[in-house]
Structure 1
C-alpha cells in the first residue's frame, strides 16, 4: 500500500503558515545553511551561473552571493506554508503589492495582459498575492512527479479566486486560449526549455536558449507586457511585489529575437539590483549552440 504523504506535507506547511514570523525566519536560516550542503549538485549550478554572469566579481564575492541566495531560497520554500495555508490577512500583511493600478487600468480598458514574471525566488509569494487581487488569472503549470506533492501544490496555487493552471503539455496554446478570453496570464519567461520555440539570446552576455513566446504573443494577439518583480527581505520576512508600467512600444517594429533581447535586458537590470534574489539554482544555460561544450 502506497504511503499517503499529503497529511504530512499539509501538517508541515500548515505549521509554517501559522507559526510566528520570528520562528518562520529561524527555519529559513537553518534550511538556508543546510541546502548547499545537502544539494551539492544545485550548489554547483549556482556557482557556475554566478561565474558566467558576474565574471567581474571575485570568487569570494560570488561565494558570499551564493550563501545569501540559498538563505533567500530556503526562506521562500518555508514561506510556501504562509502562501498556501496562512490566513488571507497574514498574506496581505506579509506580501506587499504596489503598482496594481497598472493592471487595473489595463483591465478596465479590456486589454490582454501578460504579467511578465522572471524567476525571482519570491515568485510563489507574488503569484499568491496577485490571485488575491485578480478575480481570474491563468499560468502554466508543470505537473510534479509525486502525485501527493502535485495535489498540494495545485491546491495551494489555486487557493484564491479562479486560477487556471495550464498544463505545460498544452503550452502556449493553452495560455492563448485564456488570453483571448481576457484573462490575465502570469508568464514565466526565463527557463531553458531546449531549442524548440527558442533562440539563443544574450543573457548577461552569454547566449541562452530563450523562448520567443512573449514577443510573439504580444505581436499576434495585441497583448501588453507588464513586468512583475518580486523580492524578499530576509530580516523582516516581508515580500515586495512590484507591478511595473507596461513595456512601451512592444514589440514595435522589432523581430521576435530583438524584442526578446529587450526583455532579457529588462530582467538583467532587475537582477543587478540584488543578484541573490534570482533563481540561480536552475540551469539557465543548459542548452548550448551547436558545437559548444556544456557548462554544467
Structure 2
C-alpha cells in the first residue's frame, strides 16, 4: 500500500485486487474489518438499512461527545427551530451518517451495477462538456454525509481525478479507506499534510479536482465569513484556486432519500458568480458561504454537523463549544 503522504489509486482492477490482498495480510484487524465490509456488500439492501437504523440509534449514545457537537451546531445555526425539532434533526443526522458507513461496503466492494443502483447521478453532462473544452474543473463538494457515495459514483465514470485526503489515525483503517476511495480509474489522494501544492500539480496536469470547501482548518489561510449568521473560519483557497487557474466550478450535492435508502448525486451547472470577475478572495469566500447555506437548507439534517465548524473564533471572542 502507498504511504499516506500521497497516494494514487491502483488505476485498474488487477492492481486493486493485489492491493486488497496486501491489505488483508496487514493484521487480523485489517482482515476482519475488510471481510466485514465485503460481506455487507453482498447482503440485501433492506438488511443494510436495518443495520444502519440500529447503528443510528446507538451512535448518539456511544459517541456522546460528537452528539453534543451536533446538538450545539444545530442550536447555533437553527435558533428559530424548537428544541424538539432540533432533536429530531439530530436523530435524522445520525441515522443518515450511520447508514453511509454501512453503505461504504457497496461503494468499496459491490459491483458497478450495485453502485449505480444505490447512487443515482444527475448532471454528468456538465462535466463532460467542460472536459471536451479542455477546461480546468473543480467539483465543489460540501460536507454532506453522502460525500463518499458521490465520490465513488463519479470515479466510477472516470477517467481521473484528485482530492485532498485527511489520513486516518489508525493505519489499518487508513489503508482500507484509501483502497476503497481509489477503487475505480485513477484517483489521486493528496495528503492534507502536503496541502494545496500537491493539488496544484494535478490542476496544472489538467486533472479534475474534487474539492471540499467547508472545514474549519484554523485561522491560517482563512477569513471569518458568515455561515448561518455566525463568523466561521473559511479557507480562501477555494476562490484563489478557481481564479488562478480559470477553473469552471461545479457544485456536487449528495442527498440520501430516507424512504428508499438510495442516494442522489447532483452535479449542478457551473457557478456563474464564483469567482466574481471583479471580486477578491475575501468577497468570493463570503459569497461561497451563502451558496453553501442555500444548499444545506435543502436537507439540513444531512450536513456533517459532527464537525466543530466554529471551533476557531475571531480574536477576543469566546469559544462556542463546551
What is the TM-score of this pair, normalised by structure 1? 0.98
**Alpha-carbon distance in structure 1 between the residues aligned to 2:71 and 2:220:** 27
Q: Does 1:107 align with 2:148?
A: no
Q: Does 1:277 align with 2:302?
A: yes
- 1:259-281 CA-to-partner distances (Å, cap 9, x unmatched) read 01111111111111111110100
Q: Does 1:85 align with 2:109?
A: yes
**Alpha-carbon distance in structure 1 between the residues aligned to 2:274 and 2:289:** 13
**Alpha-carbon distance in structure 2 between the residues aligned to 1:86 and 1:134:** 17
- 1:146-187 CA-to-partner distances (Å, cap 9, x unmatched) read 111111111000000000001111111111110111100000
Runs of at least 5 residues in structure 1 that lack an aligned partner in the other structure? none
- 1:179-211 CA-to-partner distances (Å, cap 9, x unmatched) read 111100000110000011111011001000011
CA contact (8 A) 1:208 1:288 kept: yes
- 1:24-71 CA-to-partner distances (Å, cap 9, x unmatched) read 100010000000011100000001000110000011110011111110
Task: Name 2:50's counterpart in structure 1.
Answer: 26
CA contact (8 A) 1:4 1:148 kept: no
**Alpha-carbon distance in structure 2 between the residues aligned to 1:237 and 1:161:** 26
**Alpha-carbon distance in structure 2 between the residues aligned to 1:14 and 1:231:** 24
Task: Name 2:315's counterpart in structure 1.
Answer: 290
Q: Does 1:144 align with 2:168?
A: yes
Task: Name 1:205's counterpart in structure 2.
Answer: 229
**Alpha-carbon distance in structure 1 between the residues aligned to 2:284 and 2:212:** 16
What is the TM-score of this pair, normalised by structure 2? 0.90
**Alpha-carbon distance in structure 2 between the residues aligned to 1:63 and 1:259:** 34
Equivalence map 1:54-69=2 (5 Å): 54-69=78-93
Runs of at least 5 residues in structure 2 that lack an aligned partner in the other structure? 1-25
**Alpha-carbon distance in structure 2 between the residues aligned to 1:84 and 1:200:** 37
Which structure 1 residue ranges, 4+ long, deviate > 4 Å from structure 2? none
**Alpha-carbon distance in structure 2 between the residues aligned to 1:276 and 1:227:** 19
Query: For 2:55, what is the secondary structure of its paired residue?
Result: helix
C-alpha RMSD of the superposition:
1.0
CA contact (8 A) 1:131 1:161 kept: yes
**Alpha-carbon distance in structure 2 between the residues aligned to 1:215 and 1:37:** 39
Displacement after TM superposition at 1:232 (Å): 0.6
**Alpha-carbon distance in structure 2 between the residues aligned to 1:282 and 1:16:** 27
**Alpha-carbon distance in structure 2 between the residues aligned to 1:274 and 1:159:** 28
CA contact (8 A) 2:158 2:184 kept: no
Displacement after TM superposition at 1:3 (Å): 5.0
Deviates more, 1:143-152 or 1:114-123: 143-152
Query: For 2:233, what is the secondary structure of its paired residue?
Result: strand
- 1:110-157 CA-to-partner distances (Å, cap 9, x unmatched) read 000110000000000000000011200001111111111111111000
